[in-house]
Protein backbone atom coordinates (compact mmCIF):
# COMPACT_ATOMS: atom_id res chain seq x y z
CA UNK A 1 0.00 0.00 0.00
CA UNK A 2 1.13 3.52 -0.75
CA UNK A 3 1.84 5.54 2.37
CA UNK A 4 -0.48 8.50 2.16
CA UNK A 5 -0.05 11.89 3.57
CA UNK A 6 -3.20 13.75 4.38
CA UNK A 7 -2.45 17.44 4.51
CA UNK A 8 -4.98 20.13 5.36
CA UNK A 9 -4.20 23.55 3.90
CA UNK A 10 -5.46 26.06 6.45
CA UNK A 11 -5.39 29.72 7.34
CA UNK A 12 -7.20 32.16 9.56
CA UNK A 13 -8.30 34.49 6.80
CA UNK A 14 -9.83 33.81 3.41
CA UNK A 15 -8.16 35.05 0.24
CA UNK A 16 -4.62 34.26 1.38
CA UNK A 17 -4.16 31.59 -1.29
CA UNK A 18 -5.19 28.27 0.25
CA UNK A 19 -6.94 26.99 -2.87
CA UNK A 20 -4.16 28.24 -5.13
CA UNK A 21 -1.63 26.40 -2.97
CA UNK A 22 -3.66 23.20 -2.59
CA UNK A 23 -4.16 22.94 -6.36
CA UNK A 24 -0.68 23.94 -7.50
CA UNK A 25 1.05 21.84 -4.86
CA UNK A 26 -1.02 18.93 -6.15
CA UNK A 27 -0.01 19.62 -9.75
CA UNK A 28 3.63 20.06 -8.73
CA UNK A 29 3.63 16.73 -6.86
CA UNK A 30 2.06 15.11 -9.92
CA UNK A 31 4.75 16.59 -12.17
CA UNK A 32 7.29 15.01 -9.82
CA UNK A 33 5.67 11.64 -10.41
CA UNK A 34 3.60 11.44 -7.23
CA UNK A 35 -0.10 10.79 -7.26
CA UNK A 36 -1.95 13.70 -5.68
CA UNK A 37 -5.58 14.43 -5.03
CA UNK A 38 -7.16 17.64 -3.78
CA UNK A 39 -10.36 17.53 -1.78
CA UNK A 40 -12.34 20.74 -1.67
CA UNK A 41 -13.60 20.80 1.91
CA UNK A 42 -14.51 24.48 1.80
CA UNK A 43 -18.11 23.41 1.84
CA UNK A 44 -19.61 26.89 1.98
CA UNK A 45 -17.30 28.72 -0.45
CA UNK A 46 -16.08 25.98 -2.73
CA UNK A 47 -13.76 27.03 -5.53
CA UNK A 48 -11.33 24.26 -6.41
CA UNK A 49 -13.42 23.58 -9.52
CA UNK A 50 -12.93 27.21 -10.54
CA UNK A 51 -9.17 26.90 -10.23
CA UNK A 52 -9.00 23.81 -12.45
CA UNK A 53 -11.70 24.73 -14.97
CA UNK A 54 -14.26 22.08 -14.09
CA UNK A 55 -17.75 23.19 -15.07
CA UNK A 56 -21.05 21.73 -14.02
CA UNK A 57 -19.76 18.45 -12.68
CA UNK A 58 -22.67 16.13 -11.90
CA UNK A 59 -21.35 14.74 -8.60
CA UNK A 60 -19.46 16.77 -6.00
CA UNK A 61 -18.59 16.45 -2.32
CA UNK A 62 -22.00 17.93 -1.53
CA UNK A 63 -23.80 14.92 -3.02
CA UNK A 64 -21.38 12.56 -1.29
CA UNK A 65 -21.86 14.22 2.11
CA UNK A 66 -25.61 14.26 1.60
CA UNK A 67 -25.47 10.49 1.05
CA UNK A 68 -26.70 10.77 -2.55
CA UNK A 69 -23.54 9.58 -4.32
CA UNK A 70 -20.42 7.45 -3.94
CA UNK A 71 -17.17 9.26 -3.39
CA UNK A 72 -15.63 7.46 -6.36
CA UNK A 73 -18.01 9.33 -8.66
CA UNK A 74 -16.83 12.69 -7.31
CA UNK A 75 -13.17 12.21 -8.35
CA UNK A 76 -12.14 14.10 -11.51
CA UNK A 77 -8.81 13.81 -13.27
CA UNK A 78 -7.18 17.12 -14.20
CA UNK A 79 -3.85 15.90 -15.56
CA UNK A 80 -1.84 12.71 -15.19
CA UNK A 81 -1.40 11.88 -11.50
CA UNK A 82 -3.57 14.77 -10.38
CA UNK A 83 -7.23 14.54 -9.43
CA UNK A 84 -9.67 16.75 -7.61
CA UNK A 85 -12.82 16.18 -5.64
CA UNK A 86 -14.74 19.42 -6.12
CA UNK A 87 -17.39 20.75 -3.84
CA UNK A 88 -20.69 21.98 -5.16
CA UNK A 89 -21.38 25.66 -5.32
CA UNK A 90 -25.13 25.68 -4.82
CA UNK A 91 -26.67 26.78 -1.54
CA UNK A 92 -29.16 23.91 -1.51
CA UNK A 93 -26.33 21.39 -1.90
CA UNK A 94 -24.53 23.08 0.96
CA UNK A 95 -27.59 22.83 3.18
CA UNK A 96 -27.97 19.11 2.52
CA UNK A 97 -24.33 18.21 3.16
CA UNK A 98 -23.37 16.88 6.57
CA UNK A 99 -19.71 17.58 7.39
CA UNK A 100 -19.68 14.75 9.91
CA UNK A 101 -19.24 12.27 7.09
CA UNK A 102 -16.06 13.99 5.97
CA UNK A 103 -13.81 11.66 7.93
CA UNK A 104 -15.18 8.58 6.13
CA UNK A 105 -14.87 10.34 2.78
CA UNK A 106 -11.23 11.19 3.53
CA UNK A 107 -10.46 7.59 4.46
CA UNK A 108 -11.89 6.48 1.09
CA UNK A 109 -9.94 9.14 -0.78
CA UNK A 110 -6.56 8.14 0.64
CA UNK A 111 -6.76 4.89 -1.28
CA UNK A 112 -4.30 4.78 -4.16
CA UNK A 113 -2.71 8.21 -3.78
CA UNK A 114 0.55 9.47 -2.34
CA UNK A 115 -0.90 12.75 -1.10
CA UNK A 116 -4.38 13.87 -0.24
CA UNK A 117 -4.48 17.63 0.09
CA UNK A 118 -7.55 19.05 1.82
CA UNK A 119 -8.47 22.62 0.96
CA UNK A 120 -10.03 23.89 4.17
CA UNK A 121 -12.42 26.74 4.89
CA UNK A 122 -10.88 29.77 6.60
CA UNK A 123 -11.64 30.80 10.14
CA UNK A 124 -12.05 29.07 13.46
CA UNK A 125 -15.47 27.51 13.21
CA UNK A 126 -16.59 23.90 13.22
CA UNK A 127 -16.27 23.46 9.45
CA UNK A 128 -12.74 24.80 9.39
CA UNK A 129 -11.55 22.84 12.41
CA UNK A 130 -12.85 19.50 11.12
CA UNK A 131 -10.34 19.11 8.24
CA UNK A 132 -7.51 20.01 10.63
CA UNK A 133 -8.72 17.32 13.03
CA UNK A 134 -8.98 14.74 10.25
CA UNK A 135 -5.66 15.48 8.54
CA UNK A 136 -2.34 13.97 9.51
CA UNK A 137 -0.61 17.30 9.09
CA UNK A 138 -1.53 20.94 8.64
CA UNK A 139 0.04 23.26 6.13
CA UNK A 140 -0.48 26.81 7.30
CA UNK A 141 -0.80 29.67 4.82
CA UNK A 142 -0.15 33.31 5.59
CA UNK A 143 0.53 36.46 3.64
CA UNK A 144 3.33 38.69 4.86
CA UNK A 145 1.05 41.13 6.64
CA UNK A 146 0.33 41.35 10.33
CA UNK A 147 -3.42 40.64 10.18
CA UNK A 148 -2.92 37.47 8.17
CA UNK A 149 -0.10 36.26 10.41
CA UNK A 150 -2.14 36.81 13.57
CA UNK A 151 -5.08 34.90 12.15
CA UNK A 152 -2.90 32.03 10.97
CA UNK A 153 -1.22 31.94 14.39
CA UNK A 154 -4.69 31.25 15.78
CA UNK A 155 -5.16 28.41 13.30
CA UNK A 156 -1.83 26.98 14.45
CA UNK A 157 -2.96 27.25 18.07
CA UNK A 158 -6.04 25.19 17.15
CA UNK A 159 -3.91 22.54 15.43
CA UNK A 160 -1.67 22.37 18.50
CA UNK A 161 -4.71 22.05 20.74
CA UNK A 162 -6.23 19.25 18.67
CA UNK A 163 -2.87 17.53 18.42
CA UNK A 164 -2.50 17.58 14.62
CA UNK A 165 1.11 18.24 13.74
CA UNK A 166 2.00 21.28 11.68
CA UNK A 167 4.05 20.49 8.58
CA UNK A 168 5.06 24.13 8.24
CA UNK A 169 3.86 27.41 6.85
CA UNK A 170 3.78 28.79 3.33
CA UNK A 171 4.17 32.51 2.88
CA UNK A 172 2.10 33.41 -0.14
CA UNK A 173 1.88 36.66 -2.11
CA UNK A 174 5.34 37.56 -0.89
CA UNK A 175 6.43 40.96 -2.12
CA UNK A 176 9.48 41.65 0.03
CA UNK A 177 8.79 45.34 0.14
CA UNK A 178 9.83 47.26 3.21
CA UNK A 179 6.22 47.11 4.41
CA UNK A 180 6.03 43.32 4.40
CA UNK A 181 7.08 41.21 7.34
CA UNK A 182 10.33 39.26 6.89
CA UNK A 183 10.05 35.53 6.32
CA UNK A 184 12.25 34.58 9.27
CA UNK A 185 10.15 36.79 11.48
CA UNK A 186 6.97 35.04 10.36
CA UNK A 187 8.51 31.64 11.04
CA UNK A 188 9.51 32.70 14.54
CA UNK A 189 6.11 34.17 15.21
CA UNK A 190 4.21 31.12 14.01
CA UNK A 191 6.77 28.88 15.72
CA UNK A 192 6.98 26.70 12.69
CA UNK A 193 9.22 26.15 9.71
CA UNK A 194 8.59 28.20 6.60
CA UNK A 195 8.46 25.45 4.00
CA UNK A 196 7.80 27.63 0.95
CA UNK A 197 7.72 31.23 -0.11
CA UNK A 198 5.47 31.88 -3.08
CA UNK A 199 5.93 35.31 -4.63
CA UNK A 200 3.10 37.65 -5.47
CA UNK A 201 2.86 36.93 -9.18
CA UNK A 202 0.35 38.43 -11.66
CA UNK A 203 0.46 35.15 -13.59
CA UNK A 204 -1.44 33.49 -10.71
CA UNK A 205 -4.41 35.80 -11.25
CA UNK A 206 -4.17 35.46 -15.03
CA UNK A 207 -4.17 31.68 -14.65
CA UNK A 208 -7.29 31.86 -12.51
CA UNK A 209 -8.99 33.99 -15.18
CA UNK A 210 -8.05 31.26 -17.65
CA UNK A 211 -9.28 28.74 -15.06
CA UNK A 212 -6.06 26.77 -14.98
CA UNK A 213 -3.54 26.19 -12.19
CA UNK A 214 -0.64 28.58 -12.78
CA UNK A 215 1.70 25.59 -13.11
CA UNK A 216 -0.25 24.40 -16.14
CA UNK A 217 -0.74 27.93 -17.46
CA UNK A 218 2.87 29.11 -17.33
CA UNK A 219 5.50 26.68 -16.04
CA UNK A 220 8.12 29.42 -16.02
CA UNK A 221 6.18 31.92 -13.91
CA UNK A 222 7.96 32.74 -10.63
CA UNK A 223 5.06 31.27 -8.62
CA UNK A 224 5.17 28.07 -10.69
CA UNK A 225 8.87 27.65 -10.02
CA UNK A 226 8.23 28.17 -6.32
CA UNK A 227 5.51 25.49 -6.35
CA UNK A 228 7.81 23.01 -8.13
CA UNK A 229 10.50 23.67 -5.57
CA UNK A 230 8.02 23.24 -2.72
CA UNK A 231 6.89 19.85 -4.05
CA UNK A 232 10.51 18.80 -4.35
CA UNK A 233 11.03 19.62 -0.74
CA UNK A 234 7.90 17.75 0.24
CA UNK A 235 9.06 14.57 -1.44
CA UNK A 236 12.42 14.85 0.28
CA UNK A 237 14.57 16.42 -2.44
CA UNK A 238 16.52 19.65 -2.19
CA UNK A 239 14.43 22.67 -3.14
CA UNK A 240 15.67 24.44 -6.26
CA UNK A 241 14.11 27.82 -5.75
CA UNK A 242 15.76 29.28 -2.74
CA UNK A 243 16.54 32.91 -2.49
CA UNK A 244 18.67 33.85 0.51
CA UNK A 245 17.23 37.30 0.32
CA UNK A 246 13.77 36.06 1.12
CA UNK A 247 14.98 34.75 4.43
CA UNK A 248 16.71 37.93 5.47
CA UNK A 249 16.36 39.03 9.07
CA UNK A 250 14.86 42.33 9.96
CA UNK A 251 16.02 44.14 13.02
CA UNK A 252 13.01 44.43 15.24
CA UNK A 253 11.13 41.51 16.70
CA UNK A 254 8.18 43.55 17.90
CA UNK A 255 5.77 41.52 15.80
CA UNK A 256 6.31 38.21 17.57
CA UNK A 257 5.98 39.87 20.94
CA UNK A 258 2.81 41.57 19.77
CA UNK A 259 1.27 38.35 18.49
CA UNK A 260 2.29 36.40 21.56
CA UNK A 261 0.61 39.04 23.70
CA UNK A 262 -2.56 38.67 21.66
CA UNK A 263 -2.49 34.89 21.94
CA UNK A 264 -1.47 35.22 25.60
CA UNK A 265 1.63 33.11 25.21
CA UNK A 266 4.53 33.46 27.60
Task: Give the interface with ligand ADP as residue ranges (CB under 6 A).
Answer: 11, 14-20, 47, 172-173, 198, 200-201, 204-205, 208, 223
Phi, psi of 158 (to 5 degrees): -65, -45
Q: 146, 183, 147: which is closest to 168 by C-alpha?
A: 183
Contacted by 198, from Mg ion, ligand ADP, none: CB < 5 to 8 Å by type: ligand ADP
The burial of 251, by beta-carbon neighbours within 10 Å (0-12 exposed, 13-18 middle, 19 or more buried), is given as exposed
Closer to Mg ion at the Cβ: 217 or 241? Answer: 217
Residue 198 CB, nearest distance to ligand ADP (Å)?
5
Contacted by 134, from Mg ion, ligand ADP, none: CB < 5 to 8 Å by type: none
Residue 92 CB, nearest distance to ligand ADP (Å)?
23
Q: How far apart are CA 98 and CA 101, in angstroms?
A: 6
Q: 173, 190, 75: which is closest to 139 by C-alpha?
A: 190
Residue 85 CB, nearest distance to ligand ADP (Å)?
16
Quickly list DSSP for 43-107. SSS--HHHHHT--S-S--HHHHHTTSS-GGGG-EEEETTEEEE-----HHHHHH--GGGHHHHHH
Closer to ligand ADP at the Cβ: 16 or 97? Answer: 16
Contacted by 16, from ligand ADP, Mg ion, none: CB < 5 to 8 Å by type: ligand ADP
Closer to ligand ADP at the Cβ: 83 or 151? Answer: 151
Closer to Mg ion at the Cβ: 121 or 144? Answer: 121
- Residues ≥6 apart with Cβ < 8 Å to 251: none
Closer to ligand ADP at the Cβ: 4 or 19? Answer: 19
Contacted by 200, from ligand ADP, Mg ion, none: CB < 5 to 8 Å by type: ligand ADP
Contacted by 223, from ligand ADP, Mg ion, none: CB < 5 to 8 Å by type: ligand ADP
The contact set with Mg ion (CB under 5 A) reads 18-19
CB 22, CB 76: distance < 8 Å: no
Closer to Mg ion at the Cβ: 173 or 182? Answer: 173
Residue 84 CB, nearest distance to ligand ADP (Å)?
14
- Convert 47-57 to b/e letters by CB count within 10 Å (16 or more is b): bbbbbbeeeee
Contacted by 201, from Mg ion, ligand ADP, none: CB < 5 to 8 Å by type: ligand ADP
Contacted by 208, from ligand ADP, Mg ion, none: CB < 5 to 8 Å by type: ligand ADP
Q: How far apart are CA 78 and CA 213, in angstroms?
A: 10
Closer to Mg ion at the Cβ: 19 or 155? Answer: 19
CB 155, CB 165: distance < 8 Å: no
Sign of the Cα torsion 5, 45, 194, 219 reads positive
Residue 14 CB, nearest distance to ligand ADP (Å)?
4
Amino acid sequence: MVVSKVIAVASGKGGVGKTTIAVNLGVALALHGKKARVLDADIAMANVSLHVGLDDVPVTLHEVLAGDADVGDAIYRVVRNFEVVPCGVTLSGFQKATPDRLRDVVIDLIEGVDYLIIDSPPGLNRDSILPIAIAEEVLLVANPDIASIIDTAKTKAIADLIGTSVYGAVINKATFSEKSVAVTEIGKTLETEIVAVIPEDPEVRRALMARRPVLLYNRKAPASRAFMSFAKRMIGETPTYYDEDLFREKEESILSRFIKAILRKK
